[in-house]
Structure formats: structure tokens, C-alpha cells
Amino acid sequence: MKVTIRQATEADLPGILDIVNDAILNSTAIWSHYAYTLDNRRKWLAERREKNQPILVAVLGSDIAGFASFGDFRPHDGYLHSVEHSIYVHRHHHGKGIGKQLMPPLFHAAKALGKHVMIGGIEAGNTGSLKFHRDLGFVETGRLKEVGWKFDRWLDLVFMQKILDASTDIRID
Ligand SMILES: CC(C)(COP(=O)(O)OP(=O)(O)OC[C@H]1O[C@@H](n2cnc3c(N)ncnc32)[C@H](O)[C@@H]1OP(=O)(O)O)[C@@H](O)C(=O)NCCC(=O)NCCS
């Protein structure tokens, strides 16, 4: 399904909020117990804008079908060239190729900012997302046991990374 990919505006925040709150309330994709507010998303947009970090939306007609963004990986300057991304597609539109259209512009934006590595933190049971990222050239580089707690159970976190300017993707087996 072909979507238009563009930078998010304030007007897109309710659509983004719907997607993210569905993931919070009904999945272990985000390890938050409480729904976000529109105000919280406004602050997030402002912070990302201030750092020139993109929030890309996939637009279908007048609806926000998904979004992808990245922020700092860790706060210290030595991590300046690494980013941690997030990607969410509306659950009515999973598996229609929308995530696959959002990621290349996100790689492009990261490279344009001189970023070297993109990192995703994925719940170990989220096999769809693990495969999605593997297909895009991410490789698993770490697995943290029982660092999360949601829905009355421990969650493991898988780190996957992609070196953005490598001509071939690294393999760490
Ligand atoms: C993970 C996610 C972003 C993928 O986006 P999507 O639009 O559904 O994925 P696409 O349709 O672009 O799929 C691209 C590839 O990913 C893989 N994939 C995506 N979802 C999958 C699933 N549930 N199971 C297995 N493979 C899956 C497929 O290999 C697919 O390749 P194909 O086209 O050859 O079949 C989306 O499903 C989503 O938002 N999931 C819930 C939230 C989430 O887990 N976000 C990531 C947090 S780390």
C-alpha cells in the first residue's frame, strides 16, 4: 500500500497519539503502563525539532498510518553519532508494507545528520519486529534478560543495530 512520507506537524499529533497509545495499552512494544497525553507528544515534537531529529509520518488519505523517528541513543557526547529509533504502524495497517516505506527516509535523514549507527530496542517476543528489522539490515547485538516488567511478567530487551554508512552490513554472530 503506497503512502506519502513527510515530516510530522502539530496537526499530526492526535493521529500519532492514537497509534502510540494503542501500543502502550495493548502490547509490549512500548514499556509504559500509562497512556501518553497530547501535551506529552507536543513536548516530544518540540524536543525533536530543537535537535533537528525527524519525526516522519506515513499518510494515507487524511489518516496517519504510521510514524518513525529517532533520538539520542545515550546522553554523553561520545554517543553523538548513534541514534535510537522507534517505528509504529497503525494496527489496522500492519503487514501492508508501510513500515518498509518509512525506514529508508529515516536512514537518509540520519545519514544527512552525520549519524553512523541506528539502534532499536525490541521486546524479545516481538518476532514480527525482529524479522522486520533483520530484513532491513539490522543485526542483533545484545539481549538483556528481564529488564522490563509489564502485564505481570518480565520482559527481555533485544538490541539491534545497523551501521548506516557500511557498504555491507556487519554480522556479529
Ligand atoms: C513492526 C512494524 C513497525 C512493521 O511495520 P509493517 O508496516 O507492519 O511492516 P511491513 O508490512 O512494512 O513489513 C515489512 C517486512 O517486515 C516483516 N514483518 C512485519 N511485520 C511482521 C510480522 N508481524 N510478522 C512477521 N514478519 C513481519 C516482514 O518480513 C515484511 O516483509 P515482507 O514484505 O517480505 O513480508 C509494525 O508491524 C508495528 O508497528 N508493529 C507494532 C509496534 C512495534 O512492534 N513497533 C516496533 C517496536 S521495536
**pLDDT tens digits, 32-55:** 999 999 999 999 999 999 999 999
- pLDDT exceeds cutoff 80 at 133: yes
In whole numbers, what is the pLDDT of the chain averaged over residues? 95
Ligand 1 centroid distance, CA of 78 (Å):
32
pLDDT band at 165 (very low <50, low <70, confident <90, very high): confident
pLDDT at 166: 61
pLDDT band at residue 169 under the 50/70/90 scheme: very low
Which residue's alpha carbon is nearest to atom 35 within ligand 1?
95
Residue 111 Cα distances to 6, 80, 100, 162, 165, angstroms: 17, 13, 18, 12, 7
Residue 28, pLDDT above cutoff 80: yes
What is the tens place of the pLDDT at every residue in 52-86? 999 999 999 999 999 999 999 999 999 999 999 99
Give me the mean pLDDT over the 12-27 stretch: 98
Pairing state of beta strands 153-163 and 117-123? antiparallel
Mean pLDDT for the stretch of residues 4-31: 98
pLDDT of residue 168: 43
Q: Look at residue 142 and give its three-state secondary structure.
A: strand
Could you tell me if the CB of 87 is within 6 A of ligand 1? yes
CATH 3.40.309.10 assigned to 4-163: no
For the chain, helix (H) and strand (E) counts, in that order, are: 4, 7
Question: Using the 8-state DSSP alphabet, how is residue 114 labeled?
Answer: T
**Taking every pair of C-alpha atoms in the chain, what is the biggest distance, in angstroms?**
44
CA–CA distance, 155 with 73 (Å, rounded to integer): 20
Taking residues 90-96, report their average pLDDT: 96
Q: How far apart are CA 57 and CA 166, in angstroms?
A: 26
Give yes or no for residue 170 having a pLDDT over 90. no
Whole-structure pTM value = 0.94
The CB of 26 under 6 Å from ligand 1? The reply is no
d(CA 43, CA 120): 22
Quote the ligand 1 centre to 88 CA distance (angstroms).
9
Cell representation of residue 144: 538483556
Q: Can you read off the three cell numbers belonging to residue 95?
A: 503487514
Q: Residue 29: is its pLDDT beyond 90?
A: yes
Q: Are 22 and 91 in contact (CB under 8 A)?
A: yes
